[in-house]
């Protein structure tokens, strides 16, 4: 099975069923299949060849789904990128994957336009909106004019379908290559683990589809089963709107990060429980450790359990099966799903016994390697085992417990942040002699970013000055929450 065949099979089985909901928009599986054919034919006419990369910089939207599957159908490699990246960060990612086509829209597109000449490998830019139709092909024109004929060429199972960047700092891009087989097989396994069917309504909020958790565990798994996906715009600030949408759309599943569950608890504390969430049969959390307090309060306010699962981009998405009785193994994120094996090893690679902490390594549906980076691949894959950089232990029944991280990384609202990214930017400030980035535990966000800064002799600076400098050079989620000036680094 490949991802092209997966969508076509679902569209043939459920043509009139709603695939995607965004506000008042309702898109059926037949309409989605036709639109992806139009995008695929457009890309082929642009000269997209087997294995060419298409960089997709879009928020959660029907257009993201259309361009993702359109790229797959055309034989390309879909490469979703974070829309919050600034041009310096994008330059590193573009140089890594060298996309032939860039798909984005205002306001993401506008700051990129002046720098496009730097990236001579980008031959075409598609505006998924309609603000630059005089300069670039727009989505509206593609849908109005392109052929909807089906492309008969089928990707091979081992062909790379997606490059997903999450393996390391932005200044050292590590794009995990995920094959059609791995993604399609994982979608089968995830659906079985969730007991997901065509009757399910999956809610997607504050979990971007350019992140593999949103892409594989929600989008691809739902399309595989013919479920309906409800896209809810916004971030944590619009949590009340999200809760209202669950009630209105009768959502049955929500996969999110701990931050969103914590915000939902705060709404219940401050405003009371105003929405009926009884349609939800499954709530799962991943991407960061979740506090037992969050789980307990969510159960108290909404009467729903939160299932904790664990995974990583390099192993498609989540690796552990939902622990359907969280109280039976409190603190555990479940056992290995079919298709994966989990071991705990010491620094010499020796397997450790139950209840002893070490590095978590996994085997099974893992990436083919980092794109154009054999050295980084060799550092994490050994004898088909993937070294995750996470620390944990398993009990005698194989239940996994996460206890720490081996990687120099912190997690804020489920988003991986590498201190070296921020330190590299701040080290270019003319007044800064040295900088250290650390993560500070935070009940709501998981961790927050603290910058400890040593100024050059005779220099003075304000927190606002440093924040403004950061805002110009890095994605907003990396911005230091705390800035401390010190005489020496800790």
Low-confidence ranges of the chain (pLDDT < 70): 167-170, 235-237, 322-328
pLDDT of residue 421: 83
pLDDT of residue 409: 76
Q: What is the pTM of this model?
A: 0.91
Q: Encode the chain in three state secondary structure.
A: CCHHHHHHHHHHHCCCCEEEEECCEEEEHHHHHHHHHHHHHHHHHCCCCCCCEEEEECCCCHHHHHHHHHHHHCCCEEEECCCCCCHHHHHHHHHHHCCCEEEECCCCCCCCHHHHHHCCCCCEEEECCCCCCCCCCEHHHHHHHCCCCCCCCCCCCCCEEEEEECCCCCCCCCEEEEEHHHHHHHHHHHHHHHCCCCCCEEEEECCCCCCHHHHHHHHHHHHHHCCEEEEECCCHHHHHHHHHHHHHHCCCEEEECHHHHHHHHHHHHHHCCCCCCCCCCEEEECCCCCCHHHHHHHHHHHCCCCEECCECHHHCCECECCCCCHHHCCCCCCCECCCEEEEEECCCCCECCCCCCEEEEEEECCCCCECCCHHHHHHHEECCEEEEEEEEEECCCCCEEEEEECCCCEEECCEEECHHHHHHHHCCCCCEEEEEEEEEEECCCEEEEEEEEEECCCCCCCHHHHHHHHHCCCCHHHCCCEEEECCCCC
Alpha-carbon distance 274 to 291, whole Å? 24
pLDDT of residue 277: 95
pLDDT of residue 328: 66
Alpha-carbon distance 20 to 25, whole Å? 8
In CATH terms, the fold of domain 410-485 is GMP Synthetase; Chain A, domain 3 (3.30.300)
CATH, range 3-205: 3.40.50.12780
Q: Any idea where the domains of the chain sit in the sequence?
A: 3-205, 410-485
């Amino acid at each position: 099975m490949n991802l092209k065949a997966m969508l076509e099979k679902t569209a043939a089985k459920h043509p009139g069923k709603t695939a995607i909901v965004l506000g008042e928009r309702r898109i059926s599986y037949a309409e989605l299949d036709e639109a992806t054919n139009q995008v695929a034919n457009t890309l082929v006419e642009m000269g997209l060849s087997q294995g060419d990369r298409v960089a997709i910089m879009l928020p959660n939207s029907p257009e993201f789904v259309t361009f993702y599957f359109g790229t797959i159908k055309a034989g390309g490699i879909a490469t979703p990128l974070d829309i919050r990246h600034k041009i310096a960060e994008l330059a590193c990612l573009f140089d890594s994957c060298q996309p032939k086509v860039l798909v984005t829209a205002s306001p993401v597109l506008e700051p990129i336009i002046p720098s496009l000449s730097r990236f001579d490998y980008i031959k075409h830019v598609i505006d998924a909106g309609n603000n630059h139709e005089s300069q670039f092909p727009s989505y509206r024109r593609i849908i109005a004019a392109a052929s909807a004929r089906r492309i008969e060429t089928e990707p091979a199972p081992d062909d790379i379908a997606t490059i997903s960047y999450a393996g390391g700092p932005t200044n050292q891009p590590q794009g995990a290559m995920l094959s059609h087989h791995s993604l399609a097989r994982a979608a089968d396994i995830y659906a079985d683990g969730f007991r997901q069917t065509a009757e399910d309504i999956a809610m997607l909020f504050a979990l971007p589809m350019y992140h593999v958790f949103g892409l594989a565990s929600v989008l691809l798994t739902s399309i595989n089963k013919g479920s309906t996906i409800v896209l809810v715009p916004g971030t944590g600030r619009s949590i009340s709107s999200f809760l209202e949408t669950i009630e209105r759309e009768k959502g049955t599943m929500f996969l999110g990060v701990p931050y969103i569950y914590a915000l939902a608890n705060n709404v219940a504390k401050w405003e009371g429980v105003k929405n009926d969430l009884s349609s939800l049969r499954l709530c799962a959390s991943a991407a960061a450790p979740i506090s037992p307090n969050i789980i307990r309060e969510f159960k108290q306010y909404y009467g729903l359990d939160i299932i904790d699962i664990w995974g990583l981009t390099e192993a498609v998405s989540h690796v552990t099966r939902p622990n359907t009785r969280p109280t039976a193994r409190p603190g555990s994120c479940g056992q290995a799903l079919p298709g994966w094996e989990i071991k705990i090893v010491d620094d010499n690679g020796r397997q450790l016994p139950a209840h002893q902490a070490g590095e978590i390594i996994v085997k099974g549906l893992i990436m083919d390697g980092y794109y154009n980076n054999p050295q980084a691949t060799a550092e994490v894959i050994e004898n088909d085992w993937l070294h995750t950089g996470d620390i944990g232990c398993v009990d005698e029944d194989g239940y996994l417990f996460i206890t720490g991280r081996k990687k120099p990384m912190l997690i804020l609202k489920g988003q991986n942040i590498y201190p070296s990214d921020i330190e590299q930017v701040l080290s270019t400030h003319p007044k800064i002699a040295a900088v250290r980035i650390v993560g500070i535990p935070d009940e709501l966000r998981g961790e927050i970013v603290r910058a400890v800064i040593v100024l050059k002799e005779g220099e003075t600076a304000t927190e606002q000055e440093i924040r403004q400098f950061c805002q110009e050079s890095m994605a907003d989620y990396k911005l230091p929450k705390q800035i401390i000036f010190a005489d020496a680094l800790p």
